Amino acid sequence: MVCERRRVPHRQIPGHPPNGTLSDVYRFLLNRRWLGYAAAALALAAVMVLLGNWQWDRYQDRSARNARIEAGEQAVPVPLTEVLPRPGSDSNQVEPTSNREWAAVAVTGRYDSSREILARGRTVNGSVGFEVVTPLVLADGTAVLVNRGFLAAPLGDATVRPQVPPAASGQVNVTGRVRYSESGSRRVQRYEGRIEVRRISVDQLAGELPYPLFNAYLLLTAQIPTADPALVAVPVRTDNAWQSGTYAVQWWLFAVMLAAWYAWSVHREAHRSRPPAALADDGIPSASSGGRRAAGDLPLSGRR
């Protein structure tokens, strides 16, 4: 008996080319609508990644600042000139480096109360008031600004100046934390002969004082003789670094989710017209999908 097997031609899947190549299946990605989708998804993903990077930079900056604050709290104060260059030296013209901020230092000098400065618009423990900044003149004639503490405004009225306790007279031993100039409005004003500012900027105040200034000021932590108790020590607060780190991870996850959504949309569009039954490689329903053999595939009996 001679048997012959007849093969039927491939069955074309609706919406797909006979060859079924990937380039043909995904040709729809080149039309205007899908190009627009791709451009929008790419732009949004790029923005999300950039926002994540920005928050990550904030996380690193805040973490480094917190580490410097904690290190300064535990460190033994060192002489001021070991941390900051003397005014007028070549190194003093160099922009201060952030790794020196919050360092604990000690210095000896005499307060110049006649040129005291009020930094207005400050808030400590919920009270609005002023921070008192007094130049401390060293033996060599240079000076460093010292933030002696906070005074609440009388009756909570920020426009009313408080009675400022006088600075200690004679030689004073000061211990403090290094702070660099604050950003923001740096306009210098005078009220009843006293200098007033919104932000403590060494560069701006240097033009108002007759002696060379160190390129940073000190946040007073202790002094001998002791400071007036009416002045409240300005608290040192650490930043919430983990919040920025969490935001960074969230933005990056949003970008990944957007990419996954776009890939899923492309896959769904590419297979939208595929029949639900699985097809064998030759285009004929497979036995596992419950299909039956085509009659043309059955062996034919030869004639005797």
Specify the pLDDT at position 90: 59
| Residue 86 or 290, more confident | 86
Band of residue 91 on the pLDDT scale cut at 50, 70, 90: low
Residue 290 has pLDDT above 50, yes or no: no
Helix (H, G, I), strand (E, B) or coil at 77: coil
Domain ranges, ordered by start, for the chain: 3-55+243-301, 103-235
Inter-CA distances, 166 with 6, 113, 114, 175, 228, Å: 111, 7, 10, 18, 8
Rounded percentage of the chain residues whose pLDDT exceeds 90: 43
Is 40 within 8 Å of 246 (Cβ atoms)?
Answer: no
Q: Is the pLDDT of residue 94 over 90?
A: no
* pLDDT of the residue at 6: 56
Q: How confident is the model at residue 294 (pLDDT cuts 50, 70, 90)?
A: very low
Q: Is the dihedral of CA 201, 205, 206, 212 positive or negative?
A: negative
**Reduced to 3 states, what is the DSSP secondary structure of residue 287?**
helix
Give the pLDDT confidence score for residue 3 in this predicted structure: 52
Reply yes or no on whether the pLDDT at 131 is more than 50. yes
User: Is the pLDDT reported for residue 278 higher than 60?
Assistant: no
Bridge-based pairing state of the strands 188-191 and 171-179: unpaired
**What is the distance between the alpha carbons of residues 134 and 148, in angstroms, rounded to a whole number?**
7
Q: Is residue 281 pLDDT above 70, yes or no?
A: no
According to CATH, the topology of domain 103-235 is: OB fold (Dihydrolipoamide Acetyltransferase, E2P) (2.40.50)
Query: Is residue 241 helix, strand or coil?
Result: helix
Tell me what pLDDT residue 133 has. 96
pLDDT, residue 4, reads 55
Q: In the structure, what pLDDT confidence band is assigned to residue 64 with cuts at 50, 70 and 90?
A: confident
Q: Round the CA-based radius of gyration of the chain to a whole number and report it.
A: 38
Judge whether residue 277 has pLDDT over 50.
no
**Measuring CA to CA, which residue among 235, 221, 239 is closest to residue 67?**
239
- Kindly state the percentage of the chain with pLDDT values over 70: 77
Q: What number of helices (H) and strands (E) belong to the chain? A: 4, 11
Query: What is the rounded (10 degree) CA torsion for 98, 104, 109, 115?
Result: 50
Average pLDDT over residues 260-266: 88
**Running DSSP on this structure, what letter comes out for residue 281?**
T
Q: How confident is the model at residue 9 (pLDDT cuts 50, 70, 90)?
A: low
Mean of the per-residue pLDDT values of the chain:
81
Residues facing 234 on adjacent strands: none
Q: Which amino acid is at 83?
A: V
Q: Please compute the mean of the pLDDT values over residues 199-203 and round it to a whole number.
A: 92
Name every residue whose Cβ is closer than 8 Å to that of residue 220 and which is 6 or more positions away in sequence. Answer: 146, 147, 148, 149, 174, 175, 176, 227, 233
Q: Report the distance separating Cα 129 and Cα 152, nearest Å.
A: 4
Pairwise pLDDT comparison (70 vs 171), residue with the higher score: 171
DSSP 157-199: -TTSPP-PPPPPPSEEEEEEEEEPPPPS---EEEETTEEEESS
Mean predicted confidence (pLDDT) in 236-264 = 89
Top pLDDT among 238 and 167 is at 167
- Which has more pLDDT, 209 or 74? 209
Q: Show the tokens assigned to 141.
A: 């004639």
Whole-number pLDDT of residue 96: 52
pLDDT of residue 68: 85
pLDDT at 137: 97
